[in-house]
Amino acid sequence: MKIREDIDAHEARRMYEEQHVPLVMHLMPMIRDYRRNYLDRTRALMPASGDWPDFDVLTELFFDSDADLGTFLNCMREGDEGRRLRADSARFLEAGTTRVFAVEETVAAARPVS
């Protein structure tokens, strides 16, 4: 997702976290875990010839089942919930910049926390 250029990034993040996230969780109870990852351009490693990514926020959604994922996708495509969420996010995100992918996660063994 890309933050609108006419909105300050800190204000957009506040709107996302304080207003949009609670709305998402209210309208989409099938989401088990909802994580937002904000791109930090000051700590990026990019090839010299590379362009910056066309997003500012990477969101991760977790579901307990494929059925819950299917319900979510259907609500986003055709439901009033999706229309409400798109209208709300248009206040701070560029319309049409959201992409949804299903992924399979592989985790390496982590070091124990001391």
Q: Mind listing the pLDDT tens digit for each residue in 51-93? A: 778 899 999 999 999 999 999 999 999 999 999 999 999 999 9
Q: Which two tokens stand for residue 22?
A: 């609670």
Residue 33 belongs to some domain of the structure: yes
Residue 112 confidence (pLDDT): 79
Give the domain extent around 95.
Answer: 1-41+55-107
Residue 112 belongs to some domain of the structure: no
Q: Which two tokens stand for residue 13?
A: 């993040």
Instruction: Report the Cα 28 to chain-centroid distance in Å.
Output: 14
CATH number at residue 69: 3.30.70
Residue 96 belongs to some domain of the structure: yes
Q: What is the pTM of this model?
A: 0.84
For residues 53 and 15, the model is more confident at 15
Q: Which two tokens stand for residue 23?
A: 């709305």
Residue 1 belongs to some domain of the structure: yes
Residue 114 belongs to some domain of the structure: no
Q: Which residues contact 106 (CB under 8 A, 6 or more apart)?
A: none
Asked if residue 3 lies in contact with residue 92, where contact means CB atoms within 8 angstroms, the answer is yes
Residue 51 confidence (pLDDT): 79
Element housing 63 (H / E): strand 57-63
